[in-house]
A and B are shown apart, each in its own frame.
Chain A
Amino acid sequence: MKQILEILEQNARTTAEQISTMVGLPISEVEKIIKQAEEDKTIVKYKTIIDWSKLGEEEVWALIEVRLTPQQNVGFDAIAEHICQFPQVYSAYLVSGTYDLAVLVKGKNMQEIASFVTQKLAPLEKVRSTVTHFLLKRYKENGEIFQLPEEYKRLPITP
């Protein structure tokens, strides 16, 4: 099970036949395990990591530090779930330290993000303050390093 998930995490397009050979289980068994993992949401979703800048797509990202007022009984959950509903929000994490919620937002340009922060996020009743950091360059995402220095090539034949 763990092995199969590891393989899919690396490459979601690995076929059941390939996985079956790699882990030494019948294809039907592999398919069953994957289906099970999809159903119980161990596999949340299959996505593709795309470097949109290659297409010349304008994309602006910002990391926003949000300080919140916790609520009785629900703590930060209610307001965090509320914030997550905004389509601009790409990721949101409750963190320890000087602020509470780390929110990653995505927009077409700076203006779009600025409007989101000033008109949607900051006015929320339980939001005490926000600090917006615009992303200048992405080096690594989801474990994948972007724009690696030129790959060192192995010699074509070695003993």
Chain B
Amino acid sequence: MTTTQHTISQTKRNFISQKVDNMPPSGIRRFFDLASSIKEVISLGIGEPDFVTPWHIREAATYSLQKGQTMYTSNSGLIELRQELARYLELHYGVSYDPECEILITVGTSEALDLIARAILNPGEEIIIPDPYYIAYPADIVLAGGVPVLIPTTKENNFSLRAVDIEPKINERTKAILIGYPANPTGAVISRNELNNIAHLAHKYNLLVISDEIYARLVYDGEHICFPSIFGMKEQSILIGGFSKSHAMTGWRIGYVAANQELIQPITKIHQYTMLCASTMAQMAAIEALKHGEDDVEKMVREYDRRRRIIVKRLNEIGLSCFEPKGAFYAFPSIKVTGMTSEKFAEKLLNEEKVAVIPGPAFGHSGEGFVRCCYATSLSNIEEALKRMGRFVSKYKKS
């Protein structure tokens, strides 16, 4: 028997990657724990529809199971789904993608974002994103070895990204601009004019534009402009979309990426090694959503719009000044009148009035002084929450 020599290390080894170790936990996490510990909270902190997926979509999925459609699909997704999607994108946004080779079905837009970041970034390359941002943007970029470059947006400019603020941040490491309008958390949209300016920058500096349009169908008082529909931009952009918000399908995890073949291929390469394909059942549901879901979408949008008008009016009435969000289902009022930080405001409001909102800084530094209020909840919940918030604000308002 031989004896092996063991060297016993004095310090405990850290098994976690530095990149992950250095990543701060999501600012939402702490609030989730807090809100979960309090009973009967009215939550305006939820980022998903309060509607259940329309019945005919659920039924299509269960029927596919009954028929035994339980196998893998092609990496890109069912061709029928890609064809329906191509038709849908053409119809609603006037952009043409070839279903054979320019569309990839993903496990929600979250997977799409991660795939794109990994497919395009070399270590140290930069992606420009507006701040406040959707929480996954910087995280996905950092995990892919890139560097997120934040461009603050302000209430004065309706939280819309401006090309004039982007240009000074462009350097030889800049690879792409990532935009997400209508925006989570602000509900902001972006004008055609500003999109044209961004397209101009993309052209001038040879940058890719990644456009996350998950909230595209939830636009009020106006129409959504799909970035790739801007002249010359289809070749230089990647479109991300999904069914979660438009068709109330968050739990299905189903989304898509559309881009030129040269861009879709490398993205698909990662997808085939990681996800293989999106869930077959969810793909069947998505086909039904595209084929027969239009009435549902319109009905839900009308309902969100009514609630939006109520919440914005009430927020302004109680003294929390709120710009008019033209998309998504979030209002982003300023809480500066209370003199509190967003974090303190949200925590006190939760403890004293049992209303959950999300502090703006969870979505980036530019969110300080604001909170995100989601109005995808019943009108009676909105009215009650705002009554409580009104009481809270009058108590702490600095005159």
Contact = CB atoms under 8 A, between A and B. Distances in A.
A29 B379 CA distance: 22
B290 interface: no
Interface residues of B, number: 29
B98 interface: no
A21 interface: yes
B46 A157 contact: yes
A7 interface: yes
A157 B18 CA distance: 28
B315 to A, nearest CB: 12
Contact of A18 (B32, B48, B310): B310
A154 to B, nearest CB: 5
A159 B47 contact: yes
Nearest to B52: A152
B10 interface: no
B310 A157 contact: no
Contact of A157 (B43, B134, B302, B306): B43
B28 A159 contact: yes
A6 B302 CA distance: 10
A158 interface: yes
Contact of B309 (A6, A14, A24, A154): A24
Interface string A3-17: 100110001001000
A60 B310 CA distance: 42
Contact of A156 (B35, B134, B310): B35
A22 interface: yes
Contacts of B305: 22
Contacts of B356: 156-157
B31 A157 contact: yes
Contacts of B43: 154, 156-157
A85 to B, nearest CB: 38
Interface residues of A, number: 17
Interface in B39-98: 41, 43, 45-48, 50, 52
Interface in A9-48: 11, 14, 18, 21-24
B143 interface: no
Contact of B45 (A11, A14, A24, A156): A156
Contacts of A158: 28, 32, 45-48
25 contacts: A14-B379, A18-B379, A21-B309, A21-B313, A22-B306, A22-B307, A23-B309, A24-B309, A152-B52, A154-B46, A154-B48, A156-B32, A156-B35, A156-B45, A156-B46, A156-B356, A157-B28, A157-B32, A157-B36, A157-B43, A157-B358, A158-B28, A158-B48, A159-B47, A159-B134
Interface of B: 26, 28, 31-32, 35-36, 41, 43, 45-48, 50, 52, 134-136, 184, 302, 305-307, 309-310, 313, 356, 358, 379, 383
Given A22-B306, A156-B41, A159-B184, 7 more contacts: A154-B50, A156-B46, A157-B35, A157-B46, A158-B48, A159-B28, A159-B134
